[in-house]
Amino acid sequence: MNDQSPRKPPHVTTRRLLEMKEQGEKIAMLTAYDYTTARILDRAGVDVVLVGDSASNVFSGHTTTLPITVDEMIYHTKAVVRGVQAETSRAMVVIDMPFMSYQLSGEEALRNAGKVMKDNECDAVKLEGGEVIVETVKRITDTGIPVMGHLGLIPQSIYKFGSYKVRAQEEKEAEELLRDAKLLEEAGAFAVVLEKIPAALAAEVTDSLSIPTIGIGAGPRCDGQVLVINDMLGLSTEFHPRFVRKYADLNGTVQDAVTRYVDDVRKGGFPSDEESY
Ligand code: KIV
């Protein structure tokens, strides 16, 4: 035994993320759902790869994150873990616990969290919600499974909210969110995602916690940032919230490549003699 990460160093661990917060180093997190993308992310130095239940939207085409199942999340996570392991194996891989896999009871939550950890060799699970899941978070972390929290606009509760507008703009909800964040920290969560809340509130939460905050639409004062890979690469065409910065226009690039391919095939211009045996 030694005190290194169970993976090849310098694998990002929960302890490393805490150190990053203490030293003021920002944490870069992105989602991935497949092997090839995970390889690119790990090679590019992403600290945390989230196998988000946003796979339900951007991979499977559902309108919400609710339909995705534990088995589907495991399928994506296995591919992502293989991708990270094929590169430097540096990035931490976190899997989203899907809707209704942890809400029914602490026992069921622990069984499902255990299943996704055992089946995937991933590093941690992510759960949405505050006070209502605190006992569950404690139970899972007490068992040795690291938990990342998620507050603010929690997409699994979209039918309760009724819209994707900015959360916690009113004082009461802002106070609740701050309290929930502290409760998650006390329950043993190692980090918390803050989604679509005012930047000033995210800064206050960040200053009040010793664990890192990871923002998405929560301003620059979080300890790290996360985006959905399809959004930041410009693959999604219908989703343009102001918090998404498009680092590429892959939709246009891929569309152009496929159009040229179709054209070449139709005209008999592909394959050429050099591309044939
Ligand atoms: O599922 C997901 O992609 C997420 C991020 C938006 C944080 O939870």
Domains in the chain, ordered, with CATH? 14-246 (3.20.20.60), 249-277 (no CATH)
C-alpha span between 250 and 143 (Å, rounded): 42
Whether ligand 1 lies within 6 angstroms of the CB of 193 is answered as yes
Structure tokens at 269: 């211009």
Handedness of CA 21, 28, 69, 154 (dihedral sign): positive
Whether ligand 1 lies within 6 angstroms of the CB of 228 is answered as yes
Q: What would the DSSP string read from start to end of 4-55?
A: S-SSSTT---HHHHHHHHHTTPPEEEEE--SHHHHHHHHHHT-SEEEE-TTH
- pTM as predicted: 0.96
Structure tokens at 114: 């255990």
Question: Mean pLDDT by 10-residue block, N- to C-terminus, for the chain (277 residues)?
Answer: 60 97 98 98 98 97 96 97 96 98 96 93 96 98 98 96 95 98 98 98 98 98 98 90 96 98 98 98
- One of 195, 238, 274, 275 is an active-site residue; which one? 195
Q: Is 195 a catalytic residue?
A: yes
At residue 1, the pLDDT reads: 47
Centre of ligand 1 to C-alpha 17, Å, is: 18
Contact call for residues 175 and 151 (beta carbons, < 8 A): no
Interacting residues of 198 by C-beta distance below 8 A, sequence separation 6+:
166, 168, 169, 174, 218, 219
The residue behind tokens 């694998």 is 11
At residue 237, the pLDDT reads: 85
Centre of ligand 1 to C-alpha 228, Å, is: 7
Q: Is 151 strand, coil or helix? A: strand
- Atom of ligand 1 at shortest range from CA of 31: 3
Whether ligand 1 lies within 6 angstroms of the CB of 57 is answered as no
Centre of ligand 1 to C-alpha 52, Å, is: 5
Q: List the residue whose alpha carbon is closest to atom 2 of ligand 1.
A: 52
Q: Is 124 strand, coil or helix? A: strand
CA distance readout (Å), 232 to 11, 237, 248: 25, 11, 7
Q: List the residue whose alpha carbon is closest to atom 8 of ligand 1.
A: 52
Structure tokens at 130: 């505050």
Whether ligand 1 lies within 6 angstroms of the CB of 180 is answered as no
